[in-house]
Chain A
């Protein structure tokens, strides 16, 4: 597609439920990143994929968070047993091999009630 597509755009879930957030990258972009944007913490790096592997998972806040990427394309961020502090906008960004062409999606706004 022309841009990075994220779905759903909004998600309201009950505390304790699991959620899956999806990112469809720009075709041909091998690098994929997940960031989280929240009022108290700004924009935080979560995880980086190069192809299907994740050489940097250092930003994942806890073991309730996991992510995968298949076929060097679509990525899914999964949050298990959601907590209220997980409420934030989750942003996906992709770039071609060089790092200078980051393109962000519009994000998924997650609200845990």
Chain B
């Protein structure tokens, strides 16, 4: 299922800094582009998502940038906080009959105080 490539694998950011995580995909059947946040011992939780007819979406400190022609989308976390330390997954959705998510490999983010 290597249709989704996520980078970097891990990221260390100082408190107040900007965290940037990237995702590249191949499958043009994807029609919904979410980012999930996962804390240890918990399931992934939807953080923010974008549809392909929009190039950017912002919710609080979290922004998705979407480049349809390059088949890439990224997550930006502004003013990063220690509580943002978690694993982040891009997980574009294959629409149609199944609506299943195809997960990236994950990025472990550590925000240092």
Contact = CB atoms under 8 A, between A and B. Distances in A.
A43 B89 contact: yes
A42 B43 contact: no
Contact of A42 (B45, B97, B100, B105): B105
Nearest to B102: A45
B98 A48 contact: yes
Interface string A6-33: 0000000000000000000000000101
Interface string B69-112: 00000000000000000000101010101111111111000000
Interface string B14-51: 00000000000000000010100000011111100100
Chain B interface helix/strand/loop/mixed: loop
B37 to A, nearest CB: 11
B43 A93 contact: yes
A100 B51 CA distance: 10
Interface of A: 4, 31, 33, 35, 42-45, 48, 55-56, 91, 93, 95, 99-107
Interface size class, chain B? 20 to 34
Nearest to B49: A100
Contacts of A4: 43
Contacts of A101: 46
A33 B99 CA distance: 10
A91 B32 contact: no
